[in-house]
Structure formats: C-alpha cells, structure tokens
Amino acid sequence: MVTEKQVLAELSKIIDPDFNRDIVSLGFVQDMVIDGGTVSFTVELTTPACPLSPVFEKQALDLVGDIPGVEQVNVHMTARKRGDRKMSADESGLQNVKYILAVSSCKGGVGKSTVAALLAKTLGSRGAKVGLLDADIYGPSVPTLFNLHEAGVRATADQKRYMPNEADGIKLMSFGFLMGDGPAVIRGPMVAQYMQQLLHNVEWGELDYLVIDMPPGTGDIQLTISQSVQIDASVIVTTPHELSLTDVRKGIMMFDKVNVPVLGVVENMAYFICDGCDKKHYIFGESGGKQLEERFGLETIAELPITGNLSGSLDALAESGIANETTDIIIRTLGKKLLDKVERPEVAHDAKTITLSWPDGETVTVSNAALRRACNCALCVDEMTRKPLLDPKSIPMDIHAQKIELIGNYAVMVDWSDGHNTGFFPYSAFRDLEKQANAAAEGCGSGSCGCK
C-alpha cells in the first residue's frame, strides 16, 4: 500500500532553484489524499503564473507515478492566497486583487510603459487574470500600446464604478480612455482626485495581478498611489545612460519611504545584437548594471536589447523570447521576495566606526573615514567618467555619522558630520572595506609595506 511518507520522500527530490530547498520543506505540498492506487495533492507556490509551475507539475507526476502501487496521480497546481490589503478606501475595486506590481522610472523615455504592458500581456497569455492601470495622467500610453483610441468608458449598473476596457483578456484602465487624445490640463489637487478614481472606483474584479504603469518621476501622483494602496513590489526601469542611472536613486528612495519593496532594476536598451555577427554591442557601456549594484546595492534582474520589437507591435513583442524571459525573472523574484524573509541588520555607530550586525551572527565594522571616502554619489564621483571628485585629504579626522537609515534590505544612507548626505552604501561596500582593512592590518608589520 502506498504511504504518505513514500510520496513526500519522492516529492522532496523536487528542488526550487530560487530557494535551493525542496518543495516539501518549503511547505508547498498540501492536502494529500491517498485512495488505493490514486494519489492526489496540491502544490501551492508563492505566486500565480509562476514559470516553475509546469516544471514542478511534470516532476511530481513522474516521481510519484514511479512509486510501486501508484496507478494515478492528480496534481493541483495553485498559488498562495494573499492576506487583506491595506487601502485608503473602504469599498475599493481592488479588494479582490491578489498582487499589485508597480513598474516605475524616474526618467521618461526609458521604455517603462512597454515593459509594464509586456509584463501584463505575457502573464495574461499564461492564463493569469491580469489588469493594467495606466497611472500617467499627462502622458497615457496604454491606449496607443493596445490600439484603443475611442474615448469613453462604461459604468457599472449602479453607476458607482467604471468598467475597465479589455484587450486580449487583460483589463485596462487609463486616463486616456476618459480624455481621448486631448491634453490633460489639470492642476495637482485634481490629479490626485482623478488618481483615486482610477485606483478604487474601477471594477477590477478578481485579478491575480494588477500591473501599475507609474508616471515618470517621484511627485504627487506617485505618492498618492503608494499611500492609497499597499503595493506588493516594484520594478524600476532605466537605461544604461548616465542621465537615467542618476535618477534611479530617486526611485529607490521614494519606494523606501512608502515601504514598497523594490525587486530590482530592468535595464532597457542595454545592448545591440548585430545581424552579421550575433555579438552583443554595449553602446552605452557594459557596466551599467554593475554600476547600479555598486552604487545602490540593487540587483539588475533583466537586460533588454535595443530591438525593433520593443518599439513595434505589442503582439510581436509578447511572442518574443524577451517577453517571456523578463516576465519569468520578475515573477520568480517576486515569489522569492514574498517567501524569503530576509532580516535587516542592526546598525550601531560611534565616533570612529559603523557596525552592521545580522541575526545570523555576521558582523561588519568599518571606520567612518574609510566609508566616507568610499562614497559613490554624484558629488564624490563624476557621473560620466566615474573619475573621483572627492579629495581624501578633505575628510575631517573626526568625521562621524549623525544619522543612519537603512534603505530596503540592500543599503545604508548616512548623514555625515561634514554635511554630506547623498551617498548610498550597499552592504557589499561594508564587507569590501572591512576585507581591505583586514588585509592592510595583516600586511603591516610583516615587512610587506616597509614598516618593519
């Protein structure tokens, strides 16, 4: 007779590559029923439309099906239910939305709206229930991307909410549907009211994902959205050009202030693939992603090429490998963020040092002067050439931190006693500085530095 222990032993051979753990220890296997030779169970993943779902399903069928005595295997693939969402409106149309993802950029023209539409369309093609909210009041893009230019939207039977338009099974809402092709000549307070209407007074129904195409910048609309509804995660879109990279810091700071986790950066127009040699050419420089990680501690989760697909038909783009690869990375990163409860370090500082201490016992200590000299901000390092602008001799001997803030779970921001406060210090920078200090201490007195 087949036992639950046998089934779980086989299922524990399925390893989730994002956590490097088996699906049994992760708690994904639930509701097991064994009826003679028929074995039924549920595999509950962290997010809907997870790209690993069909992989796990096939592995489960093969592994359990090979157990002696098993005649039939029924695997139900599902996703974890989300808890109640915090919202500013009591009767919001977002009540039945599982996850809200914001796609943001602090500079226009970097392809943010295309990435948002790409994400929504690809998730929809996989069977997920998806909505796309175009939150750019002054420059809406969704009507153009989905070729829906007729002005006007329908209302619900009770006239209390708007009905979203639909295209390819995706629910769409944009201020462009209300205004048509006319310009939105609206002052700030009215913009906030319209944004509340688009957020809460739309009959979104049951959705697995609502993708919000945020307007560029970090102004009133962005704050209204972030404070009106609990966003589960965000993605920042940029290009490798220095003008775009400089503004990434503003987006990180904005989302940190409103407690929205940043999954990472999507670097658009990162490279060009030549038709003749199939080689990647990094027109704006190959180190864009590396610069972002060094300066802000935020990982570049996807690089998109310069291609006609990204400026042409959305249908053609959605069918490309670019769309699937980018969507896979974003959803897998979201799933890891939801389940992987990464602990933030405790921060202590005194007149000479700053110390980060993690719950797992790791402790990193660096001197104030060394950390201040390592600042990578625009005032300390030239944005274009990356040439150092800071004279190390100008750092006061008694430099110390007056205020320290943790940024997300990847960096520290310090208000220094010399008035400087624009630098991000990733945790990796602390670790590198400590290693350098230890190496220098080991070398000193050994004769290698001539001080013996």
Task: Give the CATH number for residue 48.
Answer: 3.30.300.130
Q: Are residues 35 and 107 in the same domain?
A: no
Asked if residue 261 is part of any domain, the answer here is yes
Cβ neighbours around 188 below 10 Å, total: 10
DSSP letters for 420-446: ----EEEHHHHHHHHHHHHHHHHHTTT
pLDDT band for 185, please (50, 70, 90 cuts): low
Do β-strands 207-213 and 97-104 pair in parallel, antiparallel, or remain unpaired? Answer: parallel
- Distance (Å, rounded) from C-alpha 333 to C-alpha 336? 5
Q: Are residues 187 and 272 in the same domain?
A: yes
Asked if residue 174 is part of any domain, the answer here is yes
Nearest to 252 by CA among 85, 426, 420: 426
CA separation, residue 207 to residues 96, 124, 170, 171, 422 (Å): 6, 10, 10, 9, 39
Asked if residue 223 is part of any domain, the answer here is yes
Number of domains within the chain: 3
Asked if residue 449 is part of any domain, the answer here is no
pLDDT band for 70, please (50, 70, 90 cuts): very high
Distance separating the N- and C-terminal Cα atoms of the chain: 76
Tell me, what amino acid is at 280? K
Span 231-266, pLDDT tens digits: 899 998 888 776 666 677 777 778 877 778 889 888
What CATH number is attached to the domain comprising 370?
Answer: 3.30.2020.30
Q: Are residues 131 and 61 in the same domain?
A: no
Q: Are residues 203 and 74 in the same domain?
A: no
HSE, side-chain direction, 13 A CA sphere, residue 128? 28
Asked if residue 85 is part of any domain, the answer here is no
Q: Are residues 262 and 378 in the same domain?
A: no
Q: Are residues 180 and 123 in the same domain?
A: yes
Q: Are residues 322 and 356 in the same domain?
A: no
Provide the 3-class DSSP secondary structure of residue 181: coil
pLDDT band for 419, please (50, 70, 90 cuts): very high
- Written as six digits, the tokens of 39 are 């074995």
Cβ neighbours around 96 below 10 Å, total: 12
Asked if residue 86 is part of any domain, the answer here is no
Q: Taking CA 224 as the corner, what is the angle to CA 424 and CA 178, rounded to the nearest 5 degrees?
A: 130
Q: Are residues 368 and 332 in the same domain?
A: no
Considering only residues 322 and 408, tell me which one the structure prediction assigns the higher pLDDT.
322
Q: For residue 298, what is the DSSP state?
A: -
Asked if residue 425 is part of any domain, the answer here is yes
pLDDT band for 450, please (50, 70, 90 cuts): very low
Q: Supply the range of the domain harboring residue 233.
A: 97-339
Nearest to 374 by CA among 362, 357, 388: 388
Q: Are residues 300 and 409 in the same domain?
A: no
